[in-house]
């Protein structure tokens, strides 16, 4: 009896919040948007061509957090010094990963 009631209530909630829930689950994150924007830059595309660094960019939590911040992305787009620092940052994270193995 209770299971039946909970199913009905659960379905009602999902039906009511379905569109909003779908928008939240399917909308791209700031990280994805920022990486898309950076992929248009030659220097960033060159980094991503190296599969080791591409892996770090996609899966390292520190790098993902950094790129998820739009302010950081805008600085990368504007300043070559920031681009160099980012290259070094990605390389350092790769080195850390290799030392663990």
| CA–CA gap between residue 98 and residue 83 (Å, rounded) | 23
Per-residue model confidence (pLDDT) at position 24: 54
| CA–CA gap between residue 38 and residue 40 (Å, rounded) | 5
Per-residue model confidence (pLDDT) at position 17: 59
**pLDDT tens digit sequence for 34-56:** 999 999 999 999 999 999 999 99
User: Is a pLDDT exceeding 70 seen at residue 4?
Assistant: no
Per-residue model confidence (pLDDT) at position 14: 55
Per-residue model confidence (pLDDT) at position 29: 87
Is residue 94 within 8 A of residue 52, CB to CB? The reply is: yes
User: Rounded to 10 degrees, what is the CA torsion of 54, 55, 58, 63?
Assistant: -90
Domain ranges of the chain: 28-100
């Amino acid at each position: 009896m209770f299971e039946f009631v909970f199913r009905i209530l659960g379905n009602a909630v999902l039906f009511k919040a379905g569109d909003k829930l779908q928008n939240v689950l399917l909308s791209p994150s700031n990280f994805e948007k920022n990486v898309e924007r950076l992929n248009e830059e030659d220097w960033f595309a060159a980094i991503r061509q190296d599969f080791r660094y591409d892996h770090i960019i996609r899966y390292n939590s520190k790098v993902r957090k950094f790129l998820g911040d739009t302010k950081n992305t805008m600085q990368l787009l504007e300043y070559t010094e920031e681009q160099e620092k980012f290259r070094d940052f990605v390389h350092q994270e790769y080195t850390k990963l290799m030392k663990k193995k």
